[in-house]
Amino acid sequence: MLERVLSLRRAAPHADDAPADEDEDAVYVGRDESKTRKHQHLFFRAPNRASNYLTRINYVSYWPCAIALFLLLILAFSFFFTSRGFVCISSYSPVSRVGFFGSDGHESDFGALGVPWCRSKHGKTVEWTAKDLLKGLEEFVPIYETRPIKNNMYGMGFDHSFGLWFIARWLKPDLMIESGVFKGHSTWVLRQAMPDTPIISLSPRHPEKYLKKGPAYVDGNSTYYAGKDFVDFGSIDWPKVMSKRGITDLSRVLVFFDDHQNELKRIKQSLKAGFQHLVFEDNYDTGSGDHYSLRQICDQFYIRGGGHSCFKDSDEARMRSRNKKFWEKAVDIEELCGPGETWWGVRGYMRDNFNHSNKLISYVEHFQNSRFLESILDVYWELPPVAGPSLTHQTRYDPARAPSPIVEDGRYGLFQRLGLASLDNSVFNGYTQMVYIEISER
C-alpha cells in the first residue's frame, strides 16, 4: 500500500573562507550554516564507503570471495528475518539508514515524496539532455578546481555552480545580471561560462569588501550596483539601463537570483522589465527556506508530485518522520503544517527577504499564485543533484523530494572518472533545487 501510494506521488518530471567577519556575513547572507557543512554523520560513511568500495574493486579477480560473501549475506539475512520476532528492531531505527542505498548503493528514495514540477503554458521543455549534462560535468570539474573562493560557506556549492555555468554556457546570453553577490563566487562562475560577456551585479555589500579579509572575486567586466551604489533589482529603471547598453533583444539576457527574495515578487519584476530567462539559486522545498519559492508555489494537489497531507497517521507523515532523521533539510509533518493544516509555503507563510518579512496566505491565494505562474511560464527545469548521496556523502537534501541525480548512486566509476571524487565532500552540501525558467506575458 505504502509503495503504491508513494509510486503514485513519484513524479518523473518531464522529463565567506571563514567569512570576513562571520557574524556580520550571517546578517548579509542569512544564516544557513549547513549549506557547505564539512561534517557528515559518521553513520553514513560506513555503508557509503562500503558500497563505493564494492563498486571499485575488480570483482572478476575476486569472484570466489564474492560468492562466499554472497552466501554469508544470505545466511545473515535469513537469520535477521527469522529472528525479527525476538529482537525488536524499529523500522525507524538508524540501522535502516542503510536502506537508503541498499547493500550495493543502487537503491534510493529519489522523488518518493513527490517532485512538484511547475506546468508550463505549452509543455515546452529545455533543449539539453542528460548526456549534455554529463558532458558538461566532465568539462566543469577542472574549471571548478581553479575557483578563487575555496570555502564558499553561505554561498553556492558544487551542484549549483555547475548548474549556473551550464545554463549560462548553453544560452550564451549577451548580458548577464546577478542579484545577490556575496564574495563573488557566482560572478566568477558566470565569467567562466562566458569570458567576454558583460555582467551587472547587484548586492548591498560590494564583494571587494571581502577582499580585505580573504579570497573574493571582483570582475573587471561587471558593473556593480553594490555598496553605496546598491539599488534593488525591483527599483532599477531597466528599460533605461538596457537602452544605454544598446540591448534591444531581452531574450538575450540571463538573470540570476541568489538574493533570497520572494521569487513571485522577482518574477513579476522581471516580467515588467521584459526579461525572459531566469535562474533561481535557492528554490526551497515546501516547509523550508527563507523565501517563497517556485517549488513552493507549484506544490499543489493538482500538480503531479504536489500537495500534502497534515494527517499524522499517514504514509507521508511516517516517511517524513523517518527521513527527518537522515537529512538535515527534510521536514516532518510538525514543521510542514501550521495551524488549520496550512502546509503551503512554510506553515502557510509566504516568506520574503531572508524571512525578515513573512505573511500568512490562504490556500486560495497560494493556488492563485500557481495559476498565475502557469499563465506566464514557458519552461520550468530543476537542476538534478550532480550525484547520489552514497557518492557525494551529502547529508542535507532529502532524496525523496529531489529528482534523480545526474550520476546515480552506485556509479562510483563514473563519479571518479568525472573527477568528482577528488572534491571535498562539503561542496556537495548546498543543493536546493536550483531552477531555470523561461517566462513571457500571457
By the rule CB under 6 A, 203 interacts with ligand SAM: yes
- What are the backbone angles phi and psi of residue 357, rounded to the nearest 5°? -135, 140
Tell the smallest beta-carbon distance from residue 114 to ligand SAM (Å): 26
Q: String of b and e for 96-112 (b: at least 16 CB within 10 Å)? A: ebbebbeeebebbbbbb
- Stretch of 89-97, 200-208, 297-305, 411-419 contacting ligand SAM, by CB under 6 A: 200-208
Query: Phi-psi region for residue 179, left (φ > 0), alpha (ψ -120 to 50) or beta?
Result: beta
Handedness of CA 385, 386, 390, 396 (dihedral sign): negative
Among 11, 29, 141, 193, binds ligand SAM (CB under 6 A): 29
Antiparallel, parallel or unpaired: β 349-352 and 175-179: unpaired
**CB of 213: closest distance to ligand SAM in angstroms?**
15
Q: How far is the CB of 188 from ligand SAM (least distance, A)?
A: 8
Pick the stretch among 202-210, 374-382, 383-391, 412-420 that binds ligand SAM (CB under 6 A). Answer: 202-210
Name the one range near ligand SAM by CB under 6 A: 100-108, 175-183, 272-280, 390-398: 175-183
Sole binder of ligand SAM in the list 181, 194, 273, 319 (CB under 6 A) = 181
Give me the least distance between CB of 113 and ligand SAM, in Å please. 26
CA distance 228 to 206: 8
| Binding of ligand SAM by 186 (CB under 6 A) | yes
What is the H or E stretch that residue 240 is in? helix 238-245
Does 291 help bind ligand SAM (rule: CB under 6 A)? no
Contact status: 179 vs ligand SAM (CB under 6 A): yes
Closest CB to ligand SAM among 26 and 134?
A: 26
With contact defined as beta carbons under 8 Å apart, do 214 and 237 qualify?
no
Compute the distance between CA of residue 266 and CA of residue 257 in angstroms, rounded to an integer: 8
| Residue 185 binds to ligand SAM (criterion: CB under 6 A) | yes
Rounded Cα distance, 168 and 119, in Å: 23
Q: How far apart are CA 435 and CA 344, in angstroms?
A: 19
- Segment 209-238, which members bind ligand SAM (CB under 6 A)? 232-233
Tell the smallest beta-carbon distance from residue 165 to ligand SAM (Å). Answer: 11
Pair 138, 418: CB distance under 8 Å: yes
Cell 557509503 found at? 48
Q: Which is nearer to ligand SAM, 110 or 154 (CB)?
A: 154
Beta carbon nearer to ligand SAM, 25 or 398:
25
Give the interface segment with ligand SAM, choosing from 51-59, 198-206, 363-371, 372-380 (CB under 6 A).
198-206
- Report the nearest approach of ligand SAM to the CB of residue 91 (Å): 37
* Shortest Å, Cβ 261 to ligand SAM: 6
Q: Which helix (H) or strand (E) holds 91?
A: none
Binding mask 422-441 for ligand SAM (x = CB under 6 A): --------------------
Applying CB under 6 A, which of residues 10, 11, 19, 28 lies at the interface with ligand SAM?
A: 28
| DSSP character at residue 437 | E
Q: How far is CA 118 from the centre of its chain?
A: 15
Give the integer Cα–Cα distance in Å for 399 and 103. Answer: 17
CB 129 within 8 A of CB 155: no
Q: Are 160 and 281 in contact (CB under 8 A)?
A: yes
Torsion angles phi and psi, residue 381, rounded to 5: -140, 120
Q: Is 155 in the site for ligand SAM (CB under 6 A)?
A: yes
The binding track of 244-263 with respect to ligand SAM, each residue x by CB under 6 A or -, is --------------xxxx--
Rounded to whole angstroms, the Cα distance separating 281 from 284 reads: 9
β-pairing, 349-352 vs 357-360, is: antiparallel
Cβ proximity to ligand SAM, 204 vs 214, nearer residue:
204
Number of residues that bind ligand SAM (CB under 6 A): 23
Is 156 a binder of ligand SAM (CB under 6 A)? Answer: yes
C-alpha cell at 245: 547598453
> Smallest distance from the beta carbon of 129 to ligand SAM, in angstroms?
26
| Of the candidate residues 9, 10, 205, 351, the single one contacting ligand SAM (CB under 6 A) | 205
Residues that bind ligand SAM in the complex, under the rule CB under 6 A: 28-29, 152, 154-156, 179-183, 185-186, 202-205, 232-233, 258-261
